[in-house]
Amino acid sequence: MAKISAGSAPFDPFVAAQVLGPEAPPISERGTFAYLRGHLFGSVPQVLLTLFGAWLVYVTIPPMIQFFITDAVWSGTNREACLPDKVGRAVGACWPFIWAKFDQLVYGFYPAAERWRVNIVYALGAVLLLPLLIQSLPYKRLNAIAFFGVYPVVAFILLTGGDMEPKGFLLSWLGLGGLFSGFPAVGGLQLGFWADYILSAILVTALAAFVCRAVAGPEAMRPAIRSTLVTFAVLAAVLFAADIDLGLAPVETRLWGGLLVTLVIAVTGITVSLPFGILLALGRRSNLPLVKIASIAFIEFWRGVPLITVLFFATYMLPLFLPGRLTIDGLLRALVGVALFASAYMAEVVRGGLQAIPKGQYEGAMAVGLRSSLMMRLVVLPQALKLVIPGIVNNFIGLFKDTTLVLIVSIFDLLGAMRAAFTDPNWATPTTLFTGFGFAGIVYFVFCFGMSRYSMALERRLDRARRH
Amino acid sequence: MTADAIIADVEKGAPEIAVSMSGVNKWYGEFHVLRDINLTVHKGERLVICGPSGSGKSTLIRCINRLEEHQKGKIVVDGIELTDDLKRIDEVRREVGMCFQHFNLFPHLTILENCTLAPMWVRKMPKKEAEDLAMHFLEKVKIPHQAAKYPGQLSGGQQQRVAIARALCMRPRIMLFDEPTSALDPEMVKEVLDTMVALAEDGMTMLCVTHEMGFARQVANRVIFMDAGQIIEMNEPNAFFSNPQHERTRLFLSQILH
């Protein structure tokens, strides 16, 4: 190689004489003083920002403490306790109003004698959910089955009272209801329905087996029969539990209200939207054109309409289109609307995560022989979902707060129950409104902040894998 | 060997043949990336494939486990012809291990889990057995003590050795290497090459896309030179390096062997 001969400056050859060990950083880089200088008072703009921040804290926090705590009234039996004239001082929050309306805020118009059922649902939910969220506790699989599989059924039965008296299954729906009309009910069980159910199960299984045989050959028949029967068996267990008469008084959903409705809608929306959103996101990236188009159409439709429109449509217009004898519970309609709406948003968040996974991960998974379903489940989705935890939780929080919109279709969630409580002349005081909204705000904040903190902890824990 | 002779071999289904490609052509859109590839690899053979960037050498070996699809010609791997049939593709991928330039380890799984994933889910091996197998191969690539760490905590050379162990856990009969050392710091190249040499000594059938000519001299039975989608020259290593026949090969070798 040609010698490069620029006139290099003279230098002394050098060889390190000893190995240098690590030392602590200089004192000026550590401690309170360095922190203050570095982060709060480093430069003129920084000083101004610090002062502005301090001023903001000064004008917001002390008045809030004054209103909600120091000037607040903590006990009383009616509005008299919170009227400044009667008390003889400035009055802040009127907490006795909240105490007096507390049951209404938590249960709505749920009959007082039956509220123990709601309490059991709350307690059971907490008992099952908490250990699921704490990573170090064992039996995650069992716990998940209990929470996602068994709990919704138990909650449904407890809240509605069960014994839902289904009229007919597939065959009746196809116009063959006359076959089963003479059957009696035993212990709350509609025998006519169950006869219909068993016949339908047999027919559908046979049909599935036939189709699979025609499409994929005889060896596909056995798994098809097995999975169809398992599906029917699981559905039967759920329906059986819902149909049997346990002696619980039925409570219509229009009596439900307050925090109960907020939680029912939010928890259902959250637990449905994530799996459904994942399926939609995978569908949107599918190679099968039909699946892809269907997913895109679904997502774009639900993202394109406002939630209020969805709720309004489901509540007031859907009944006009349905055949006369078919009525769907009002709360259920809102639930389905919210869940589908949330799923569409979730799908786009998950798709963002899927797109961030490099091609090499797919190739690595394929090269070790993983089929595409396993590749998605074991390699791609775990990484994609981890990436979009902030977006997922963002959706959860948004959904939790959007539940307040059900107010416009006359479903009284926490905020609705609160507004109903405002109308009570017995508690008409100058600060009732502020107290009520303040309290509702605190309740929403506690739930949303809880979700936010949990997601941050989850991110930190999962992040170990990426750190060096 | 002529194309006809290869096709005859393939049709006989000669048991000693690991991979045979006859008349293989592939296009990326309009770009003709593989042009009439005819190649037979016998069991236990070690091939090194080199050539300038864009010559189709990676595409060639990626066709062998169907990471890329060929449009014309016939590829038979371990007696299984590669077609659109997903079952056959799965079968081939179970028998063929692969190491990539960028390792492609699964970052959300520990080293041990990376190695046990496929045996457990594809071969339905019990967890304990899969872990024993994984530890066996991790010892073989000399990193058993890193089993509980995540890929991001390992150096590039260590990651590539894990990738080799991960592939070996599926007990493949053929190993493909796609530039396994070209993303590594110079200090780490040797540890990976040593692992590959050890693998070669165990009699593994190997196809390596690499520019490590020392490795080629040491272990290869044959060296293949590709350019513009075509196999230009194929010879045993000594002859290939000391006496390249084709003009293009000579130019290439003069560029990389200073």
Question: What would the pLDDT profile of A239-261 be if each residue is shown by its tens digit?
Answer: 888 777 777 888 888 888 899 99
Tell me the β-bridge partners of B175. Answer: B97, B206
Helices A95-107 and A414-422 sit at what angle, rounded to 10 degrees?
130
Q: What percent of chain A has pLDDT over 90?
A: 34
Q: CA dihedral in degrees (A40, A46, A50, A56; nearest 10)?
A: -150
With an 8 Å Cβ cutoff, are A360 and B108 in contact?
A: no
Structure tokens at A448: 């949303």
pTM of the model as a whole: 0.83
Q: Which conformational region is residue A340 in: left (phi greater than 0), alpha (psi within -120 to 50 degrees), or beta?
A: alpha
Cβ distance of B100 and A363 shorter than 8 Å: yes
Measured CA to CA in angstroms, residue B46 lies from B179, B200, B224 at distances of 15, 7, 11
Q: What is residue B9's predicted lDDT score, i.e. its pLDDT?
A: 55
**Cα–Cα–Cα angle for A66, A67, A70, nearest 5°?**
45
Q: Which residues of A touch B107 (CB under 8 A)?
A: 383, 465-466
Q: B180 at the A interface (CB within 8 A)?
A: no
The arithmetic mean of pLDDT across residues A328-357, rounded, is 91
Q: Does B32 touch chain A (CB under 8 A)?
A: no
Of residues B65, B90, B152, nearest to A371 (C-beta): B90
Q: Quick one: closest CA in A to B169, which residue?
A: A368
Q: Which residue has the higher pLDDT, B50 or A182?
A: B50
What are the residues whose beta carbons fall under 8 Å from the beta carbon of B252, sequence distance 6 or more?
Answer: B50, B51, B52, B225, B227
Could you tell me if B93 lies within 8 Å of chain A, comparing CB atoms? yes
Q: Could you read off the pLDDT of A358-378 as tens digits, one per residue?
A: 999 999 999 999 998 999 999
Instruction: Confirm if A406 and A341 have CB atoms less than 8 A apart.
Output: no
SS3 A105: helix
Taking residues A419-447, report their average pLDDT.
90
Query: Closest chain B residue to A382 measured between Cα atoms?
Result: B108
More confident residue, A385 or A87: A385
Does residue B214 sit at the A interface (CB-CB below 8 Å)?
no
Backbone angles phi, psi at A423, to 5 degrees: -75, -10
Confidence (pLDDT) at B7: 54
Task: Beginning with the edge strand found earlier in the chain, give each strand of the sheet holding B174-178 in spatial order.
Answer: B96-99, B174-178, B205-209, B46-50, B222-227, B230-235
Amino acid letter at A289?
Answer: P
pLDDT for the residue A279: 95
Our CA-based measurement puts residue B119 at a distance from the nearest CA of chain A, in whole angstroms, of 9
Average pLDDT, chain A: 86
Confidence at residue A325, expressed as pLDDT on a 0 to 100 scale: 58
Instruction: Note whether B152 contacts A468, CB cutoff 8 Å.
Output: yes
Kindly indicate the confidence band of residue A468, based on its pLDDT and cuts at 50, 70 and 90: very low
Contact, A198 vs A205, CB < 8 A?
A: no
Indicate if the pLDDT at residue A175 is higher than 80: no
A414–B contact, CB cutoff 8 A = no
Token pair listed for A17: 């004489």
Is some CB atom of chain B closer than 8 A to the CB atom of A365? yes
ipTM topping 0.95: no
On whether the CB atoms of residues B151 and B106 are closer than 8 A, the answer is: yes
B158 reaches A (C-beta below 8 A) = no
- Contact A89/B at CB under 8 A: no
Could you list the beta-strand ranges (E) of chain B. 17-28, 31-42, 46-50, 72-77, 80-81, 96-99, 174-178, 205-209, 222-227, 230-235
* Residues of chain B found within 8 Å of residue A368, distances taken between Cβ atoms: 93, 97, 117-118, 122, 166-167, 170
Summarised one tens digit per residue, pLDDT across range A105-159 is: 999 888 888 889 999 999 999 999 888 888 888 888 888 888 888 888 888 888 8
Residue of A361, A369, A464 with shortest CB distance to B150: A464
- Chain A CB contacts of B86 under 8 Å are 371
Name the more confident of A243 and A266: A266
B65 touching A (Cβ < 8 Å): yes
B31 at interface of A, judged by CB pairs closer than 8 A: no
B93–A369: do the CB atoms touch at under 8 Å?
yes
Q: Choose among A360, A371, A378: nearest Cβ to B117.
A: A378
Smallest CA–CA separation between A292 and chain B, in Å?
21
pLDDT tens-digit profile, chain B (258 residues)? 455 655 555 555 556 889 999 999 999 999 999 999 999 999 999 999 999 998 999 999 999 999 999 999 999 999 899 988 888 899 999 999 999 999 999 999 999 999 999 999 999 999 999 999 999 999 999 999 999 999 999 999 999 999 999 999 999 999 999 999 998 988 899 999 999 999 999 999 999 999 888 899 989 999 999 999 999 999 999 999 999 999 999 999 988 876
Quick: pLDDT tens for A20-48. 888 887 776 667 777 777 778 888 898 99
Q: Contact B171/B74 with Cβ under 8 angstroms? A: no
CA-nearest residue to A379 within chain B is: B106
pLDDT of res. A324: 60
Model pLDDT, residue B6: 53
Whether residue A200 is predicted with pLDDT greater than 90 in this model: the reply is: no
The pLDDT of A250-275, averaged and rounded, is 89
Q: Which residues pair with B81 in a beta bridge?
A: B76
* Per-residue pLDDT reduced to its tens digit, A211-240: 888 877 777 788 888 888 888 888 888 888
Contact with chain B for residue A371, Cβ under 8 A: yes
Judge whether A363 is closer than 8 Å to chain B, CB to CB: yes
Q: How far is CA A345 from each of CA A269, A280, A337, A452, A459, rounded to the nearest angstrom?
A: 12, 10, 13, 18, 21
Report the chain A residue with the minimal C-alpha distance to residue B89.
Answer: A369
